[in-house]
Amino acid sequence: MKKASTLVVMGTFLLALSATLMAQNNKITVPAGTTLTVRLGRSLSSKTSKPGDTFPATLRYSVKVEGNTVIPAGAEVEGRVANAKKQGAFAGQADLALELISITTHGDTYSITTDTWAQTEKGKGKRTAGSVGGGAAAGAIIGAIAGGGKGAAIGAGLGAGAGTAVAGGTGGKNVNLSTESTLSFRLTQPLVIQTH
């Protein structure tokens, strides 16, 4: 009887160990530094947004690890306003800073940590934009500035792996990003994905 009990205990242990190993084998790590490019699900503005506000987005390009797609394009993403400051009537500057906080893929939602995409509007039409934090001090933006009935497309390349905003504008004094604007962020912490 004692021998049979020992065998049962050993069998249970082996089954648990096997399940643990299988679970580990079904996980893929997306490394820190991976770029996540998203499309905004709604418009954002330094005039109306407040720090802590969340916003929806979708992943524009699939994320691959060792050539295999681990997060498909179209995955739902949630972002958060890290900072927002509207420009004063006569002086000051407008600031808008964003970060990503979660991503949903294959029915599972994961918390993520990214660098911060930021844009500043200084005075009349002067702007800076980029990704800051997590070692990423680079960014780029393509936007439209409306003035005198004519639009001007401006692209600012601030380095490799930069954050990008497409179809966004400054609206004169404040930082405005329209729905479908494209922004890029970089993971600052690895993301472990459970495969199915």
Q: Kindly list the structural domains of the chain, giving each domain's residue range(s) and its CATH number in brackets, ordered by start.
A: 2-194 (2.40.128.260)
Residue spans of alpha helices (H) in the chain? 2-25
CB 149 within 8 A of CB 82: no
C-alpha 96/C-alpha 176 separation (Å) is 9
Q: Which tokens sit at 17?
A: 């160990």
Report the chain's terminal Cα–Cα distance, integer Å.
41
On the question of pLDDT at 102 being above 50, the answer is yes
23 three-class SS: helix
Pairing of strands 140-147, 150-157: antiparallel
pTM assigned to the model: 0.67
CB 78 within 8 A of CB 58: no
6 three-class SS: helix
Q: Is 132 exposed, middle or buried (0-12, 13-18, 19+ CB in 10 A)?
A: middle
Average pLDDT, the chain: 75
pLDDT tens digits, one per residue of 31-60: 999 999 999 999 999 999 999 999 999 999
How many residues comprise the chain?
196
Q: How far is CA 128 from the centre of its chain?
A: 19
Q: Which amino acid is at 133?
A: G
C-alpha 105/C-alpha 62 separation (Å) is 11
Q: What is the CA radius of gyration of the chain?
A: 22
Q: Which tokens sit at 46?
A: 């330094």
pLDDT tens digits, one per residue of 134-170: 443 333 333 333 334 333 333 333 333 344 444 344 4
Q: Which tokens sit at 93?
A: 């500057």
